[in-house]
Amino acid sequence: MHPKELSKKLFTEKYHKAPTLNVYAPGRVNIIGEHTDYNDGFVMPCAINYGTSISGAPRHDHIFNVFAADLNESDEFRLDQPIEPNPNEKWTGYVRGVVKFIQERCPEFHQGADLVISGNVPLSSGLSSSASLEVAVGKFCQELANLSLSHTEIALIGQKAENKFVGANCGNMDQLISALGQEGHLLMIDCRSLDTIPTPVPENIAVMIVNSHVKHDLVTGEYNTRRQQCEAAAKFFGVKALRDVSIAQFHKKEAELTALDVDVAKRARHIVTENQRVLDAVQALNNGDISRLGELMNASHISMRDDFEITTPEIDYLVELAQSVIGTSGGARMTGGGFGGCIVALAPTDKVDAVRQIIADNYEKRTGLKESFYVCTASQGVHKC
């Protein structure tokens, strides 16, 4: 059952009445532009047809009573008292954090509610289950109390919750695409200005996602280390963020930076070249040139593997298998924060079965892990349903 139906059904069963408000926010896959978001750079994700649904109704008090159906766990907190983290359950931080920062922005928000949450974004896969949850909670609060918040503001509140309340130093891409996604389109986002350019997915091109089932948890050190290394590189170049460094400028001072810190130089090279790849990808898509897009995706993967050093042997093997079938008719790369999670591949729909087959025949045999394979469509961002 789709989360939209499931959350409604479970709410009705739990409270013996129909919900009065239903919202849905999608997960996302990033096609190209990895770790560029917190460097004020460019990304190109799309919202996918997996997401988080919330069904609920207002209460006559200030209590937020939340039931997470997929985990079979509940959380309750008051909106007329300071909102603190619940140390026992990590998932509650995404809900509490969003409500806390909505109150910071809209101090009049004290409306209690009963909520049932259901989602089908695979957890710990790098498809942004957390951003999907944050944006859904933000939209629910906005509709519940008729708050004057735009979808962009809801996204940024979600990011703030993840940064300041949960403690994961993510950029703004995941929440922005969950809030602003457009059906049938990838969305190029300028993470500094928040300008977006919808770029159509060409006809008969499939978006495939393969979950390696190598688990990752970004609240732990590696992600924050990469972020610090990028900040150190920006400082070296004397700029606000690596977005401000061109490839030519990077090459001019590359040797000097490498002599100072080889890892920082490698991280910077990935970000500077990746930003350019995103801009080139917009051009390729506008020209309907999937072969060129594929080259850029493949180059992005090599850069993440060798310069940003965030892939794993399992992920590299999945990419290699997919690329061997796709050839020049598309591309494949790791997607998400890294150290596990998923790969994304774009290719003509008539290649899907062959990609699925070669991975099914080989991946488990080599790694002992069984992949999950999804064919996705570019979907609409957060909405009432």
Question: Tokens 């977005």 belong to which residue?
Answer: 243
Whether residue 35 is annotated as binding a ligand: the answer is: yes
The model's pTM is 0.90
* Beta-bridge partner residues of 113: 58, 64
Whether residue 223 is annotated as binding a ligand: the answer is: yes
Tell me the mean pLDDT in the region 373-384. Answer: 95
Measure the CA–CA gap between 68 and 75, rounded to whole angstroms: 8
* Beta-bridge partner residues of 342: 211, 335
**Closest listed residue to residue 297, CA positions, set 327, 324, 274, 331:** 331
**Closest listed residue to residue 171, CA positions, set 91, 296, 274:** 274
Give Cα 157 to chain centroid, integer Å. Answer: 15
**Closest listed residue to residue 236, CA positions, set 220, 214, 218, 260:** 260
Measure the CA–CA gap between 207 and 199, rounded to whole angstroms: 14
- Is the predicted pLDDT of residue 104 greater than 60, yes or no? yes
**Closest listed residue to residue 52, CA positions, set 108, 131, 141, 105:** 131
CA dist 176 → 19, 30, 169, 263 (Å): 27, 12, 15, 30
Question: pLDDT, tens digit, for every residue of 60-69?
Answer: 999 999 999 9
Whether residue 143 is annotated as binding a ligand: the answer is: no
Question: pLDDT, tens digit, for every residue of 23-42?
Answer: 999 999 999 999 999 999 99
Both tokens assigned to 25: 């926010």
Side-chain-facing half-sphere of 300: CA atoms under 13 Å:
34
Measure the CA–CA gap between 7 and 23, rounded to whole angstroms: 10
Question: pLDDT, tens digit, for every residue of 145-190?
Answer: 999 999 999 999 999 999 999 988 788 999 999 999 999 999 999 9
pLDDT at residue 300, rounded to an integer: 98
Whether residue 178 is annotated as binding a ligand: the answer is: no
Checking phi first, is residue 309 left (phi over 0); if not, alpha (psi -120 to 50) or beta?
A: left
- The proportion of the chain whose per-residue pLDDT surpasses 70, expressed as a percent, equals 98
Whether residue 94 is annotated as binding a ligand: the answer is: no
Whether residue 242 is annotated as binding a ligand: the answer is: no
Both tokens assigned to 259: 């002599």
Both tokens assigned to 202: 């060409």
Q: What are phi and psi of 35, to 5 degrees?
A: 65, 10
* Contacts of 248 by beta carbon, 8 Å cutoff, 6+ apart: none
Question: pLDDT, tens digit, for every residue of 262-305?
Answer: 999 999 999 999 999 999 999 999 999 999 999 999 999 999 99
| Annotated active-site residue in 40, 75, 114, 174 | 174
Q: What are phi and psi of 19, to 5 degrees?
A: -65, 150
pLDDT at residue 202, rounded to an integer: 87
Whether residue 246 is annotated as binding a ligand: the answer is: no
Q: What are phi and psi of 203, to 5 degrees?
A: -55, 145
Domains assigned to the chain:
3-201 (3.30.230.10), 205-376 (3.30.70.890)
Let me know if 190 is a catalytic residue: no
What are the helix and strand counts (H, E) for the chain? 11, 12
Whether residue 108 is annotated as binding a ligand: the answer is: no
- Is the predicted pLDDT of residue 106 greater than 70, yes or no? yes
